[in-house]
Structure 1
Amino acid sequence: MSLKLRSRAVAVTGAAVVTAGAVATGVVLAGGDPGTKKAAPVAATANRAAAQAAPAFRLPFPCGQVWTGNSNRSSAHTRYEIDFNRGSSPEADNGHAVVAAAAGTVVRSTRHVNQSGFGNHVVIQHSGGYATWYAHLKYRSVKVGQKVASGTKIGAVGRTTRPSNSGMSSHLHYEVRLNGGYPPVAASFGGRRFAYPQQTLKACAKPPAPHPVTQICGAGYRKIDEAALRRGGKTYGRVYLGYKSGYNCVITVKPKGAKTAMSATLQVRGAAARTDRGNYTWYAGPIRSAAGKKCVKWGGSIGSAAYTSPFEHCG
């Protein structure tokens, strides 16, 4: 069956298509300069347990602010370290608040003068063996042993570092380390992996909702075709054809609300059609069938607005 993407709005006489953290008790740290390959443990107790699911990390700035992260501006960086700025001049961000990216316990709050280039920096230990590092802070607002919630202010953007780096401009250096390891691991914000090497993000922005095909048919399904269900100039919803690993899925979707007569139909060539029909508040289906390279006929309805395809998507 073909994976060619299509979108259509079909007009039918008399019937049209409807469109539609818990805190870890073990302290995990890796010290040393950011560019070193071997980490020097600085914590009295090391968490050697296997990593669990990562906490729900957020952008480390107050809600509503927009910041640009870049992972390759500094020659000392490894691939997953991020420098954050948002101002239009080198010192525009100096003094802006930095907040905890997730709930945890402060395991380091100090200033390095010569040990590394981190200057004022804070490390927060989270669940699952994850720790976040915040470097070059103008000042620190937390102390070792303090428990912080996601969004708690921990300091401010600055340019503190070793004397030889005194020409550095203000920015937040951010890392995520796992089980005391160095180099860092990839960072995520709002459940989405940072788009290395650069991405502009809004703090606390809600992630976009998954497509209805993924929501209803299941993880891994993606839309390969759709038809709008319209009648009398009004759009009622959409019928979608999804695909995943040799399987097709059909759903008919309308805005959530009152129960309405709806249907979703899928037929693989050589087999009987399968239909879900009833009064639903949101969607009809999902109808899933293994199709392989066989043609399929699909469609759906909302009230008297309906669509049925020919046999298509054959290989």
Structure 2
Amino acid sequence: MEHYERHCPPPERRFNCLIPPPHGYKVPIKWPKSRDIVWKANIPHTHLAKEKSDQNWMIDAGEKIKFPGGGTHFHHGADKYISSIANMLNFKDNIINNEGMLRTVLDVGCGVASFGGYLLSSNVIAMSLAPNDVHQNQIQFALERGIPAYLGVLGTKRLPYPSRSFELAHCSRCRIDWLQRDGILMLELDRLLRPGGYFAYSSPEAYAQDEEDRRIWKEMSSLAERMCWKIAEKKNQTVIWVKPLNNDCYRSRPRGTNPPLCKSGDDPDSVWGVTMEACITPYPEREYLSYSSCNFLPFIAYLLAEYL
């Protein structure tokens, strides 16, 4: 499997010098303290701290920037917001990792990544995704805090993850047009979610009552239904959809329903430079045990006959 591994470049392409840190750069504060406070000198663009000061994202504190854990949709802290999502899903003790059943999260439009930072204390790893935007890269705050994050965008290419990589996708006021190009961006989330995975969406379309928001919500709901997503819970400002566990719903859709299933030759795990398609990625067609439809009695009888 050597050809799958990363390799150092040949000698003629290697650099022969060390890149010095920027002028005034300080040794970063170590995790877990860095979740809540970082050196201002290490972040070249800090005007976002003033712009979002009324939303509790961060506080300019002289030589440091403090992160109370707030956000556009969670003024009272990411930890309370995360607990509310766990409560909506009836997870034990309102703990988001659901006794180890939920471990990986994709946070789309992550801001300064407080959502992902607070998930770590629940033994959940989040990949925070932020675009190169008008705020001169919000992601710089996430990386300085020590939170897994990368600069990227839901655009025309697949995100660099194989299919079924995440148990939960999250979007809180991420300003993404989920309906564009026949819902291709929601279909990309569908490719990335595991069977029974969730999409937590906090945005005005889910709760506001003006005409445009109602129109968007109606069309998003219709698209999600045709994708076989079901609403697990809708409360206050957040809706959570759940992805099906198997292909049964896809097979039962009327002929000609859009979005279509992806072609059988499509590789859902091929990602580098692969153009997104407006189609549903079905699960592999092979024998497997399904909690929803499997009769375990023959299997138990086989075990008894084999080992007793």
TM-score range, shorter chain: under 0.3
Bigger relative contact order, structure 1 or 2 (CA pairs below 8 A, ≥6 apart): 1
Structure with bigger helix share is: 2
TM-score (norm 2): 0.22
Which structure is larger by alpha-carbon Rg, 1 or 2? 1
